[in-house]
A and B are shown apart, each in its own frame.
Chain A
Amino acid sequence: MNAPQAALCKAAKNMPVLEANERTIAAPGFAGEKETPVVRIEASRGWISLQLRELWEHRELLYFLTWRDVKVRYKQTLLGAGWAVLQPLITMLIFSAVFGRLAKLPSDGIPYPIFAFAALVQWTFFASATGRASDGLLSNAGLIKKVYFPRMAVPLARVAACFADYIPAFALLLLMMWYYKFAPSWHVVLVPIFVALATGTALGTGLWLAALNVRFRDIGYVTPFLIQIWFFVTPVIYPSSLLPARWQFLYALNPMTGSIEGFRWALLGTPTLSLGKLGTCCVVVAALLLSGAIYFRRTERHFADII
Chain B
Amino acid sequence: MSEFAIHVEGLSKQYRIGERQPGYFTLRDALLGAMRAPFRRLGGRQGNTRLSAERDKIWALKEVSFDVRHGEVVGVIGSNGAGKSTLLKILSRITEPTMGFAEIRGRVRALLEVGTGFHGELTGRENIFLNGAILGMSKEEIRRKFDEIVTFSEIEEFLDTPVKHYSSGMFVRLAFAVAAHLEPEILIIDEVLSVGDVAFQNKCLGKISEVTHGGRTVLFVSHNMASIENLCEQCLFLRHGKIEFVGDAKSAIKRYITSASGNRQQRESHVVDLTTCTRRPEYPRPLLQKLEVFSAGRPLTGGLPLGAPLTLRITFRLEKPTADFHINVGFDNLLGQRVFTANTLFEPTRVYEARKGEQVFVCDLPSLPFVPGEYIVKTSLILGAMTTVDAVEDAMRLQIVESDFYGTGRSPWNGVVVLNHHWRLMPSAGS
Contacts and interface: CB of A to CB of B under 8 A. Distances in A.
Contact of B69 (A11, A34, A43, A60): A11
B91 A7 contact: no
A13 to B, nearest CB: 7
Interface string B112-154: 1100110101100010011001111011010000000000000
Contact of B94 (A34, A76, A146): A146
B105 A60 contact: no
Contacts of A16: 183, 185, 214-216
A144 B133 CA distance: 14
Interface string B28-44: 10100000000000000
B107 A18 contact: yes
Contact of B19 (A21, A36, A67, A306): A306
B94 A147 contact: yes
A275 interface: no
Interface string B205-228: 000000000111000000000000
A305 B3 contact: no
A299 B66 CA distance: 29
Contact of B121 (A75, A145, A305): A75
Interface in A2-28: 4, 7-8, 10-11, 13-16, 18-19, 21-22
Contacts of B5: 11
Given A16-B216, A217-B24, A43 B97 contact: yes
Interface in B88-105: 89-105
A180 interface: no
Contacts of A38: 103-105
Contact of B25 (A10, A33, A301, A306): A306
Contact of B138 (A19, A41, A218): A19
B20 interface: yes
A265 B27 CA distance: 41
A304 B96 CA distance: 9
Interface string A137-178: 000101111111100000000000000000000000000000
Contacts of B26: 216-218
B134 A305 contact: no
A229 interface: no
B130 A14 contact: no
Contacts of A4: 3, 69
Contacts of A140: 117
A305 B95 contact: yes
Contacts of B103: 38-41
Given A7-B3, A72-B119, A304-B89, A43 B215 contact: no
B20 to A, nearest CB: 7
A49 interface: no
A33 B138 CA distance: 23
Contact of A36 (B24, B105, B183): B105
B71 interface: yes
B27 A216 contact: yes
Nearest to A75: B121
B133 A13 contact: no
A68 interface: yes
Contacts of A85: none
A216 B185 contact: no
A13 B116 contact: no
Contacts of B90: 41
A215 B26 CA distance: 7
B178 to A, nearest CB: 13
Interface in A79-136: none
A146 B3 contact: no
B25 to A, nearest CB: 6
Contacts of A67: 130
A75 B162 CA distance: 11
A227 interface: no
A297 B107 CA distance: 23
A191 interface: no
Nearest to B70: A11
B15 interface: yes
Contacts of B70: 7-8, 10-11, 14-15, 33
A72 B122 contact: yes
Contacts of B185: 15-16, 36
Given A7-B71, A16-B216, A19-B138, A304 B102 contact: no
Nearest to B99: A43
Contacts of A147: 92, 94, 110, 112, 116-117, 134-135
A63 B134 CA distance: 11
Contacts of A60: 133, 138-139
A92 B379 CA distance: 60
B72 interface: yes
Interface in A230-269: none
Contacts of A50: none
A36 B113 CA distance: 27
B106 interface: yes
A256 B99 CA distance: 44
A10 B71 contact: yes
A148 B110 contact: yes
A187 interface: no
Contacts of A215: 24-25, 30
Given A10-B71, A11-B71, A36-B185, A44 B96 contact: yes
B207 to A, nearest CB: 16
A64 interface: yes
Contacts of B130: 64, 67-68
Nearest to A18: B107
Interface of A: 4, 7-8, 10-11, 13-16, 18-19, 21-22, 33-34, 36-44, 60-61, 63-64, 67-68, 71-72, 75-76, 140, 142-149, 215-218, 301, 304-306
The 6 closest A-B pairs by CB, nearest first: A14-B215, A11-B70, A42-B101, A64-B133, A148-B93, A218-B27
23 contacts: A7-B69, A10-B71, A16-B215, A36-B105, A36-B106, A39-B93, A41-B103, A42-B96, A43-B98, A61-B136, A63-B133, A64-B139, A72-B121, A75-B121, A140-B117, A143-B116, A143-B134, A145-B94, A215-B25, A216-B27, A301-B96, A304-B94, A305-B19
Given A145-B94, A147-B110, 7 more contacts: A10-B71, A16-B185, A43-B96, A43-B99, A64-B129, A218-B26, A218-B27
